[in-house]
Amino acid sequence: MTLARTYQDLSRPGAGGTAPLSATAAAAPRSGRLVLSGIYKRFNSSPVAALHDVSLHCQPGEFVVVVGPSGCGKTTLLNIAAGIVHPDRGSAVLDDKPIRFPGPDRAMVFQDHALFPWLTAQQNVEFGLRMAGMGAAERRQRSMEALRMVHLGGSGKKLVHELSGGMRQRVALARALVMDPAVLLMDEPFAALDAQTRTLLHHQLQLLWCLTRKTVLFVTHSVGEAVRLADRVIVMHAHPGRIRKVIPVQLPHPRTFDSADINELARLVRREIEEEVNRVNAALAAEDSWRPKETADLGAPAGDLGSGI
């Protein structure tokens, strides 16, 4: 309740700017320390490891963004943190508890919202609470609060297909937040949205994160998105998946998204990714022996074709 109200005060235009926000931000969280160490994972169908000795240490309340070429193992890393995929070697630990199964201390926002089409928006948000055995009245109140946080207080009764793409993604975010997890795992959650909607959601996510101070592990292909949101940007190396470079973003939150600092950092990250992509492409070209074939010889000379007639 208080959280929702504070959020609404803060998000009102001209309501005090940045200073009060950092002041009201929740005290440094004690839970949400995510430690991935020496993770190695190879899928049976592939000769190369999807993840090769990846170690990542997320502080409580830290916003970590992972970028890298397609197929470098970002989703796999997130799934390991979620407990959906199990690493071959290495350990994943959250607040001193090993991660073995999916659990309510971690919530995931998927690229394709993954909302259940047979439920309304509010029922979707309530789903995790219902599975946890919470009573209907409290469930309704909590889910309403979560929906208001993403500015969808009026759309609770809508069915999933009646929501726009951006609204769906916000419901998915509310569905994750309502569980009050220690860690929020987000796999390209805004990739399918247009630039304006995405910027809007970046602002909302920043505000929500400033308020709740959850640990966030966020995967994206967008460099702009990475530097806007991250405390730390992890650039991945592909085939096998490794951490190539860690770029800290030491700018105060919430951020002005088009500041010179951010643009400078974005250039840096982009250069890093481009180098990696070029390296991957060069490696692929080298190992691939495929060439366009010579014009194929079509067998018997044309003169013979009619000879039997």
Partner 1 sequence: MLLLATWEAAFRTFQWRPFIFPAPSQVLDAMLNMLGISSGFGKPLHAGWPLVAREPLDSSPLLSRVLHSPLISADLVSAARLVVGFAISVMLGAGLGAVMWRWIAVDDFLGPVFLGLQTLPSVCWVPLAVLVFGLSETGILFVLIMGSAFGISLSMRDGLRTIPPLYHRAGLMMGARRWRLYRHVLLPAALPALASSLRQGFSFAWRSLMGAELILVAERRGLGFLLKTGQDYSDIAQVVAVMVVMVVIGILADRLVFAPIERRVHLRFGLAGAG
Residues of this chain, 259-298, that bind partner 1 according to CB under 8 A: none
Q: Are 90 and 39 contacting, i.e. CB atoms less than 8 angstroms apart?
A: yes
> What span, in angstroms and rounded, lies between the C-alpha atoms of 261 and 250?
10
> What span, in angstroms and rounded, lies between the C-alpha atoms of 18 and 66?
26
Residue 141, classed as helix, strand or coil, is helix
Under the binding rule (CB under 5 A), the answer on residue 222 touching Mg ion is no
CA dist 72 → 12, 34, 68, 75 (Å): 40, 21, 6, 9
Q: Which of 11, 58, 21 is nearest to 210 (CA)?
A: 21
Q: CB under 5 to 8 A by kind: which of ligand ATP, partner 1, Mg ion, none does 107 bind?
A: partner 1
Choose between 103 and 153: whose C-beta lies nearer to partner 1.
103
Residue 49, classed as helix, strand or coil, is coil
Q: How many CA atoms lie within 13 A of 35 on its CB side?
A: 10
Under the binding rule (CB under 8 A), the answer on residue 148 touching partner 1 is no
> Which of 112, 140, 197, 231 lies at the binding interface for partner 1 (CB under 8 A)?
112
The contacts of residue 11 (CB under 8 Å, 6+ apart) are 204, 207
Choose between 73 and 181: whose C-beta lies nearer to ligand ATP.
73
Determine how many CB atoms are found less than 10 A away from the CB of residue 217.
26
Q: Which stretch binds partner 1 (CB under 8 A): 32-40, 129-137, 139-147, 231-239?
A: 129-137
What tokens were used for 12? 């009102």
Residue 10-49 contact track with ligand ATP, rule CB under 6 A, x = bound:
---------------------------------x-xx---
Residue 84-103 contact track with partner 1, rule CB under 8 A, x = bound:
x-----------------xx
Under the binding rule (CB under 5 A), the answer on residue 75 touching Mg ion is yes
Under the binding rule (CB under 6 A), the answer on residue 220 touching ligand ATP is no
Under the binding rule (CB under 6 A), the answer on residue 164 touching ligand ATP is no
What tokens were used for 30? 């004690």
Under the binding rule (CB under 6 A), the answer on residue 222 touching ligand ATP is no
Residue 55-84 contact track with ligand ATP, rule CB under 6 A, x = bound:
---------------xxxxxxx--------
Residue 230, classed as helix, strand or coil, is coil
**Least separation in angstroms between CB 81 and partner 1:** 11
DSSP 118: T
Site of interaction with Mg ion (CB under 5 A): 75
Site of interaction with partner 1 (CB under 8 A): 82, 84, 102-104, 106-108, 110, 112, 114, 116-119, 127-128, 130-132, 159-162, 175, 179
